[in-house]
Amino acid sequence: RLKDLEVAELGDSDVRVQMLAAPINPADINMIQGTYAILSPLPAVGGNEGVGEVLEVGRHVAALKPGDWVIPAGAGLGTWRTQGVFPEETLLKVPSDIPVLCAATLSVNPCTAYRMLADFETLAPGDSVIQNAANSGVGQAVIQIAKASGIKTINVVRDRPDLPKLVERLMALGADHVITEEMLRKPEMKDIFKSIPKPRLALNCVGGKSTTEMLRHLQPKGTMVTYGGMAKQPVMVPVSAFIFRDVRLRGFWMTQWRKDHAQDQESLTSMMDALCQLVRRGQLTAPACTEVPLQDYKAALEATMKPFTSSKQILLL
């Protein structure tokens, strides 16, 4: 529920932030349901992502000043609020010359897309990637980051009533091919590989049958990275894929990457810089968004949980 709380006292190493905008992501819902791998101690404020403006800093804070824009450095900050006081190390400064919705959606999906494209296979211009849930926040970021690097994308979506509209939107973002899960099983898939090579990397956010079908099109010694399980079904792999094609199955979780690189500020900074540059050049946009005032949070949560959602709910704070 929506509650009025006292804002905490500002400590020497704290920062008082006016939140500007915060999205509702599937992981936020899972945390509320108690099914996510990390859970905030209760009572808790929801929201793992968002952007805010610094209002005031404690006397030991050196890296931030009033007027700066900040995003969460990790999960569990509780961004669905108008104001908060946070320790300096829980915040990352971002440029304030990028659109507010891009900044609000920067720390989870584009970072996940960036790392999966960079960390598992060495991809060169002309190579291809196949992904399911291509209309998700990560999917849209994968299309745009790949396009900026000259990498081709084959994008799998579920069949739906407004399919032509969705295909058009993903193509406008830079998708090379958009196909339905049913098409993965059809002989016409061969036509796609007349113009582009078979993918060395597959990105899986669904699980179940469509993932097994997607795996068929991976090059020998290729890698499939699982970062979500929207179908709530296991990943099934034919034995032949392991023996005769030596495919690799890996997993990725952005929260874990941040923990593993906590001492490695350089890799975090270079990733954020690269993403902000893409935003500035117009090569990376925010996902399709519906802006919702905080008091309408119930409608926003319900909309997020509807099937075939193609628009991310963003709370305006």
Domain CATH code at residue 137: 3.40.50.720
Residues 73 and 200 in one domain: no
> What is d(CA 120, CA 133) in angstroms, rounded to the nearest whole number?
19
Query: What per-residue confidence (pLDDT) applies to 288?
Result: 86
Residues 141 and 213 in one domain: yes
Is the residue at 99 inside a domain? Answer: yes
Residues 90 and 138 in one domain: no
In the structure encoding, which two tokens stand for residue 93, read together?
Answer: 């400064």
> What is d(CA 31, CA 258) in angstroms, rounded to the nearest whole number?
18
Is the residue at 185 inside a domain? Answer: yes
Is the residue at 50 inside a domain? Answer: yes
Residues 127 and 245 in one domain: yes
Residues 250 and 164 in one domain: yes
Is the residue at 260 inside a domain? Answer: no
Question: How many C-beta atoms surround the C-beta of residue 18 within 10 A?
Answer: 15
Residues 144 and 96 in one domain: no
DSSP state of 52: E
CATH of the domain at 307: 3.90.180.10
Is the residue at 154 inside a domain? Answer: yes
Question: How many C-beta atoms surround the C-beta of residue 20 within 10 A?
Answer: 21
Query: What per-residue confidence (pLDDT) applies to 117?
Result: 98
Residues 165 and 302 in one domain: no
The residue to which tokens 């009572």 are assigned: 43
What lies within 8 Å, CB to CB, of 73 at 6+ separation is 89, 90, 91, 92, 258
Is the residue at 261 inside a domain? Answer: no
Q: Residue 123: which domain range? A: 109-254
Residue 41: exposed, middle, or buried by beta-carbon count in 10 A (0-12, 13-18, 19+)? Answer: exposed
Residues 19 and 97 in one domain: yes
Residue 145: exposed, middle, or buried by beta-carbon count in 10 A (0-12, 13-18, 19+)? Answer: buried
- In this structure, which amino acid lies at residue 123? L
β-pairing, 51-57 vs 69-72, is antiparallel
Cβ atoms of residues 181 and 156 within 8 Å: yes
Domain endpoint, select from 254, 278, 295: 254
Query: What per-residue confidence (pLDDT) applies to 316?
Result: 96
pLDDT, one tens digit for every residue, the chain (317 residues): 999 999 999 999 999 999 999 999 989 999 999 999 989 999 999 999 999 999 999 999 999 999 999 999 988 999 999 999 999 999 999 999 999 999 999 999 999 999 999 999 999 999 999 999 999 999 999 999 999 999 999 999 999 988 999 999 999 999 999 999 999 999 999 999 999 999 999 999 999 998 999 999 999 999 999 999 989 999 999 999 999 999 999 999 999 999 999 899 899 999 999 999 999 999 999 998 999 999 999 999 999 988 777 789 999 99
Query: What per-residue confidence (pLDDT) applies to 310?
Result: 72
Query: What per-residue confidence (pLDDT) applies to 308?
Result: 73
36 is catalytic: yes
| Closest listed residue to residue 111, CA positions, set 150, 60, 73 | 73
Query: What per-residue confidence (pLDDT) applies to 56?
Result: 97
Cβ atoms of residues 91 and 64 within 8 Å: yes
Beta strand ranges found along the chain (DSSP E) = 14-23, 51-57, 69-72, 83-87, 91-94, 128-131, 152-157, 177-180, 201-204, 223-226, 248-251, 289-293, 312-316
Is the residue at 307 inside a domain? Answer: yes
| Number of domains the chain contains | 2
Residues 65 and 202 in one domain: no
Residues 115 and 94 in one domain: no
Q: Which of 36, 114, 227, 297 is catalytic?
A: 36
Residues 94 and 19 in one domain: yes
Query: What per-residue confidence (pLDDT) applies to 307?
Result: 78
Domain endpoint, select from 212, 232, 254: 254
Residues 127 and 156 in one domain: yes
Domain endpoint, select from 254, 276, 305: 254
Is the residue at 267 inside a domain? Answer: no
